[in-house]
Amino acid sequence: MAEIILHHYDMSPFAEKARLMLGFKQLPWRSVQIPPVMPKPDVVALTGGYRKTPVLQIGADIYCDTALIARVLEQIQPTPTLFPAAAPLAPLLAQWADALMFGPAVAWAMQPAGVAAILGHLPPEQLKGFAADRAAMRGNAPRATLADGTAQLKAQLAALNAQLAQGGPWLFGAAPSIADFSVGHCLWFIRQATPVATLLDDYPAIGPWLARLLAIGHHQRSEMRSTEAIAVAAGAAGHAPVAVQPGLGFDAGQAVSVFATDYGSDPVAGTLVGLTPDSVTLRRTDPRAGTVQVHFPRFGFQIRKETTA
């Protein structure tokens, strides 16, 4: 199998989720550091427009969104599993955390004292650029305020603490699951915001659990340049096998675009080559990356039929 390449930046919480999942699976990986703000020409050469972080690449197959990345890693290395049979609700709790805990956690971490700890190394111009980039990415959606985020976060932490206080050691009992990684990356971000991270001390079962999760580590990471990753895609011998299942509303070979329905909704246009209840795959050709397959989870993404000229 071609190398596993993660396109990411160090301070990204969703990237930390992916790094920890790679560590959990003990899979060696190549690290391509990408810009945290637009423009991201080398990311977009691979994805066709998707700009969120992280993105996983295997040869000429590009996997967007950590919900899908988790399933890809599970296929490559089934043990230890991220989806224990004894925890059927774990993927739902993971979706909940990614969608509804991430915002409050960011609102808490990015209050002024937290911003200083996380982004304080940036010159004022870049700080302004970061804020403008995120405002543009959110579009019309309002930014979660600190007051709203705090109210939600405290209720969430209390429930998680009560769950873990039943003995854990993981959210669904004896073994880690995808839910631990999704809740974990949100709280990892709060931990980075050191002056405001003391909030977590109010929930005594959370600290030891988070320490256990982060101790999993990232396994074996080695750096790669983004241009090299594009060359890997261009030189790949083939693509992952995919197929369009009938009865799901779309046909193989249709011109479509796919976009996230929450934020960062830049559409990716291509030819539909794969569709299941869980994932959607487009094929597109880029002048530098060649013909790539871009994969998305079905949940949280919309498929739009396009008319070809």
Ligand X SMILES: N[C@@H](CCC(=O)N[C@@H](CS)C(=O)NCC(=O)O)C(=O)O
Q: Which residues of this chain interact with ligand X, rule CB under 6 A?
A: 12-14, 36, 51-53, 65-67, 98, 137, 264
| Residue of minimal Cβ distance to ligand X | 52
48 backbone φψ class: left, alpha, beta (φ>0; ψ -120 to 50): left
Nearest distance from C-beta of residue 91 to ligand X, angstroms = 12
Residue whose entry in the numeric block shows the structure tokens 């675009």: 257
Closest to ligand X by CB, 32 vs 205, is 32
Smallest distance from the beta carbon of 76 to ligand X, in angstroms?
A: 18
Per-position DSSP letters for 155-209, written without gaps between them: HHHHHHHHHHHTT-SBTTBSS--HHHHHHHHHHHHHHHSGGGGGGGGGSTTHHHH
Nearer to ligand X, 56 or 289 (CB): 56
User: In angstroms, what is the minimal distance from the CB of 68 to ligand X?
Assistant: 8
Q: Which is nearer to ligand X, 205 or 268 (CB)?
A: 268
Q: How far apart are CA 161 and CA 294, in angstroms?
A: 38
Q: Which C-beta is closer to ligand X: that of 119 or that of 231?
A: 119
Closer residue to ligand X, CB minimum distance, 16 or 206: 16
In the bound complex, what is the minimum distance in angstroms from residue 44's beta carbon to ligand X? 11
Q: Which of 36, 188, 226, 6 is nearest to 97 (CA)?
A: 188
Minimum distance, C-beta of residue 137 to ligand X, in the bound complex (Å): 6
Show the tokens assigned to 233.
Answer: 């895609």
